[in-house]
């Protein structure tokens, strides 16, 4: 009996072991020399070989390629992508560390965001790293992503290799942008407002205006060539915004320049001249309900030079005179000749052949015309004293003093002070005052 029971027990044990092996297949070796478990143990060594990143979602499929050290979006004719995002993706996959195994049941994939990208409503992202067009180095299906429980500065995501059923919770991969537009290098140009000396705007109908500030130290821009009898209708703050249009000008999208008819759909042309020798010409057009701009850059004579510390020479000299020493605080926004030259080369390379879709609020900055900029000059209201009455210069009224050519009362001597006349009060004549004085004496 004992032997029979022992045989039965061994048989049951073997069955249990077999079921366990079938449900939980053997784990893949993922340990590094430091003991950490990596999903792709050899990937970090191969990152320099990656020349292509393919990203597929339920809605989009696009490819980021590397050529001559330049990463660009293939669907946008190679326009530059954000290098930080490329770096985060490559290193993130190379350092992807397994936290724990999850389900192997395909019916539960949807809860983890790991449905096949070919399925309707899938939120997964399929990432494939390649060496050349054909050699796959690594590929991964990435599902729901969240801040890591053990380290909120990092992220953890549910992942699955496309050829395997096993799902994993892994840490180290930041959220992956699912739209090709989100991979583009967003900044078209970023020139600080303070560097701008002059802005000239010419509208498609021929209307022109310009704004400027004479020196770097001046805080506000002014409208130039204001006609007699008129004055600016908008505040210096609005003019400052115009001068700052090139500050953090970001794209919404980018297309080859030949796809936009700038001559037919021209809205305006704006020329921005900096104090330190940079000129940017922006041509704006409205096409297919979108706002586009093309840009060009050139070198012009310097209006105000930068010091060796980046501070303008005029400001540095002024600070030295005021403080008596040369330890002035650097302003850093003006550039020296070599920096401007390098900036021009960089911008030419970035802009040549491209038309940029720009946000409407930036596009509208320079749309203002005469009716928006100018109004009839308002007459100055008479000055009032503390009692609410008008300040009257009696000598000027009686002919003893002549008003100056600007229409102001002539300057009085120390003995000729002005008289304050309260509102709604009458003033007695000198004869009435004398009569009342006489009567009081007689009485």
Co-location of 158 and 41 in the same domain: yes
The distance from CA 54 to its chain's CA centroid, rounded to whole angstroms, is: 28
How many domains are there within the chain? Answer: 3
| Last residue within a domain, chosen from 157, 183, 209 | 183
| Residue 151 confidence (pLDDT) | 87
Backbone angles phi, psi at 38, to 5 degrees: -100, 145
Which is nearest to 328 in space by CA: 311, 345, 342, 340? 311
Which is nearest to 163 in space by CA: 38, 50, 28? 28
Helix, strand and coil in the chain, % to nearest 5 = 30, 30, 45
| Residue 16 confidence (pLDDT) | 40
Is 6 inside a domain boundary? Answer: no
Which is nearest to 186 in space by CA: 41, 357, 437, 38? 357
Co-location of 336 and 193 in the same domain: yes
Q: Name residue, tokens 């003995």.
A: 415
Co-location of 293 and 365 in the same domain: yes
| Last residue within a domain, chosen from 375, 403, 426 | 375
| Last residue within a domain, chosen from 183, 210, 244 | 183
> What domain range is 417 assigned to?
390-436
- Tell how strand 97-101 and strand 168-171 pair up: antiparallel
Co-location of 102 and 250 in the same domain: no
Token duo for residue 387: 């009692």
Contact 188, 295 (CB under 8 A): yes
Is 17 inside a domain boundary? Answer: no
Alpha-carbon gap, residue 55 to 177, rounded angstroms: 9
Alpha-carbon gap, residue 272 to 278, rounded angstroms: 8
Q: Name residue, tokens 């500050």.
A: 247
Is 37 inside a domain boundary? Answer: yes
Is 10 inside a domain boundary? Answer: no
CA distances from 230 to 170, 214, 223 (A): 68, 21, 12
| Residue 379 confidence (pLDDT) | 77
Co-location of 163 and 254 in the same domain: no
Co-location of 171 and 242 in the same domain: no
Q: 3-state DSSP call for residue 266?
A: strand
Residue range 289-303, pLDDT digits in tens? 999 999 999 999 999
Burial class of 199 by CB neighbour count within 10 A (0 to 12, 13 to 18, 19+) = buried
Which is nearest to 248 in space by CA: 327, 413, 361? 361
Contact 122, 59 (CB under 8 A): no
| Residue 15 confidence (pLDDT) | 40
Residue range 283-340, pLDDT digits in tens? 999 999 999 999 999 999 999 988 655 444 445 545 445 544 443 344 568 999 999 9
Contact 64, 71 (CB under 8 A): yes
Low pLDDT (below 50) residues in the chain = 1-2, 6-7, 10, 12-34, 310-314, 317, 319-320, 323-330, 394, 396-398, 400-443
Backbone angles phi, psi at 13, to 5 degrees: -60, -40
Rg (CA), the chain: 38
In degrees to the nearest 10, what's the CA dihedral of 80, 84, 86, 90?
Answer: 160
Backbone angles phi, psi at 386, to 5 degrees: -65, -20
| Residue 281 confidence (pLDDT) | 98
Co-location of 349 and 240 in the same domain: yes
Token duo for residue 208: 């022109």
E strand map for 185-340:
187-189, 196-203, 208-212, 222-223, 230-232, 249-250, 253-256, 266-274, 278-287, 290-299
Co-location of 94 and 41 in the same domain: yes
Is 412 inside a domain boundary? Answer: yes
Q: CA neighbours within 13 Å on the CB side: how many for 362?
A: 23
Co-location of 179 and 197 in the same domain: no
Is 281 inside a domain boundary? Answer: yes
- Tell how strand 135-147 and strand 155-160 pair up: antiparallel
Is 290 inside a domain boundary? Answer: yes
Give a three-class secondary structure readout of 272-299: EEECCCEEEEEEEEEECCEEEEEEEEEE
> Global pTM?
0.72
| Residue 75 confidence (pLDDT) | 96
Co-location of 397 and 368 in the same domain: no
Co-location of 75 and 99 in the same domain: yes
């Amino acid at each position: 009996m004992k032997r029979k029971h022992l045989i039965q027990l061994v048989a049951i044990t073997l069955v249990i072991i077999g079921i366990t092996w079938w449900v939980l297949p053997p784990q893949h070796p993922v340990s590094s020399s430091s003991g950490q478990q990596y999903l792709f143990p050899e990937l970090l060594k191969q990152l320099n070989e990656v020349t292509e990143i393919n990203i597929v979602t339920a809605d989009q499929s696009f490819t980021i390629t590397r050529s001559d050290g330049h990463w660009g979006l293939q669907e946008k004719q190679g326009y530059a992508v954000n290098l930080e995002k490329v770096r985060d993706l490559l290193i993130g996959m190379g350092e992807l560390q397994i936290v724990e195994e999850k389900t192997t049941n395909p019916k539960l994939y949807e809860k983890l965001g790991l449905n096949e990208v070919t399925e309707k409503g899938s939120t997964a992202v399929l990432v494939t790293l390649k060496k050349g067009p054909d050699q796959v180095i690594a590929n991964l299906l990435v599902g729901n992503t969240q801040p890591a429980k053990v380290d909120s500065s990092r992220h953890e995501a549910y992942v699955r290799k496309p050829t395997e059923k096993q799902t994993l919770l892994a840490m180290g991969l930041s959220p992956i942008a699912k739209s090709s537009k989100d991979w583009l290098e967003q900044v078209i140009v970023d020139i600080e407002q303070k560097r701008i000396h002059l802005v000239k705007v010419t509208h498609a109908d021929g209307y022109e205006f310009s704004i400027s500030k004479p020196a770097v130290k001046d805080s506000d821009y002014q409208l130039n060539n204001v006609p007699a009898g008129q004055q600016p209708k908008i505040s210096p703050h609005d003019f400052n915004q115009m001068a700052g249009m090139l500050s953090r000008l970001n794209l919404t999208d980018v297309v080859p320049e030949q796809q936009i008819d700038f001559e037919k759909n021209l809205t305006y042309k704006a020329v921005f001249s900096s104090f330190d020798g940079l000129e940017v010409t922006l041509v704006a057009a409205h096409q297919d309900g979108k706002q586009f701009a093309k840009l060009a850059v050139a070198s012009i004579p310097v209006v105000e030079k930068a010091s060796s510390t980046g501070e303008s020479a005029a400001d540095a000299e002024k600070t030295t005179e005021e403080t008596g020493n040369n330890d002035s605080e650097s302003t850093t926004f003006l550039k020296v000749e070599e920096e401007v030259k390098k900036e021009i080369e960089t911008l030419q390379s970035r802009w040549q052949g491209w038309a940029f879709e720009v946000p409407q609020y930036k596009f509208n900055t320079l749309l203002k015309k005469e009716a928006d900029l100018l109004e009839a000059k308002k007459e100055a209201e008479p000055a009032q004293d503390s009692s609410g009455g008008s300040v009257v210069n009696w000598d000027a009224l009686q002919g003893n003093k002549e008003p100056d050519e600007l229409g102001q009362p002539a300057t009085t001597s120390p003995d000729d002070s002005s008289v304050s006349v309260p509102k709604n009060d009458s003033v007695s004549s000198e004869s009435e005052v004398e009569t009342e004085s006489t009567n009081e004496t007689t009485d």
